[in-house]
Amino acid sequence: MTIYSIMPPELVFDGINTEPGPYVSLIVGDVTLQIEAVSPGVGRIVRLLEAPLDAYLRPELSPGTLIPYGQPTT
């Protein structure tokens, strides 16, 4: 594979060897989400695992959205 870029290779390949964070499955109503923990009690939606078709059009369920989950530990 050849990559043509004006950016330095250090920026292009930054993070290529790091594993993504631990993911958690969360059920919200009739939707099963895969989220990545950002802080205690807050997660970022990675993708929808199981959902009715109209759930993909809901902006509050779009990937990258921060949502509360679980009980925050203090």
Confidence at residue 2, expressed as pLDDT on a 0 to 100 scale = 85
Confidence at residue 67, expressed as pLDDT on a 0 to 100 scale = 93
Q: What does pLDDT average to over the chain?
A: 88
Q: What's the whole-number mean pLDDT along residues 26-45? A: 92
* CB-based contacts of 59, cutoff 8 Å, min separation 6: 65
d(CA 74, CA 70): 13
pTM above 0.85, yes or no: no
Every domain of the chain and the residues it spans: 20-68
